[in-house]
Amino acid sequence: MENSNQIIPEKIHLIQIKWIKENTIIAQDKLSKNPVYNFSIAHNMMHNLEKEIVKIRLFLDMNGAIDGKEIKQGGNYEVDFLFQIDDLKTHFQIIEDKPVFSGIFVATLLGICYSTIRGMLFSIWKDTILNGVILPVISVPELLNSKR
């Protein structure tokens, strides 16, 4: 991994975003108070080394709760992010016949994906009762360990 810790933004091209699952759940009854939302997020990563393409799928589950009791409000989402990476070979080593990507490279892609999905969901929710719900800021290194 030559220059494995050097990320050059101009060599990362987000070429496609595709919704795989978009399931927003809105409670039918009037709620007694504003819910607290719990989020879980995970990812998986695929690649085509020859074409220098990396795909990251984010899985996001959001559940509302009032006074610690879960309510039927929230959602489940899956989104694919497809990246074209110039000089992808500089970001991985082959170990036991498998590519192992540098942590900073994967963390960079995950950060791009997560910040993008935050904005996408904010926009989707703006005309619903979920208006104003914003995904929390997270630790991207923790997201690295949240594979599905």
* 60-98: pLDDT as tens digits: 999 999 999 999 999 999 999 999 999 999 999 999 999
Instruction: Give helix then strand counts, H and E, for the chain.
Output: 2, 6
| Stretch 114-136: mean pLDDT | 92
Cite the beta strand spans of the chain per DSSP E. 12-25, 36-48, 53-66, 69-85, 92-95, 98-101
- Are 65 and 36 in contact by the 8 Å Cβ rule? The answer is yes
| pLDDT the model gives residue 5 | 63
| pLDDT the model gives residue 146 | 82
Direct distance between the N- and C-terminal alpha carbons of the chain, in angstroms, rounded to an integer: 26
| Count of domains observed in the chain | 1
Whether residue 70 lies inside any domain: the answer is yes
Burial degree of 23 (CB within 10 A; 0-12, 13-18, 19+): exposed
Question: Does residue 11 surpass a pLDDT of 90?
Answer: yes
Whether residue 148 lies inside any domain: the answer is no
- Note down the domain range covering 45: 9-143
Report the DSSP beta bridge partners of residue 12.
85
Question: Does residue 1 surpass a pLDDT of 60?
Answer: no
Whether residue 52 lies inside any domain: the answer is yes
Give the CATH number, domain containing residue 89: 3.10.420.10
- pTM for the model stands at 0.90
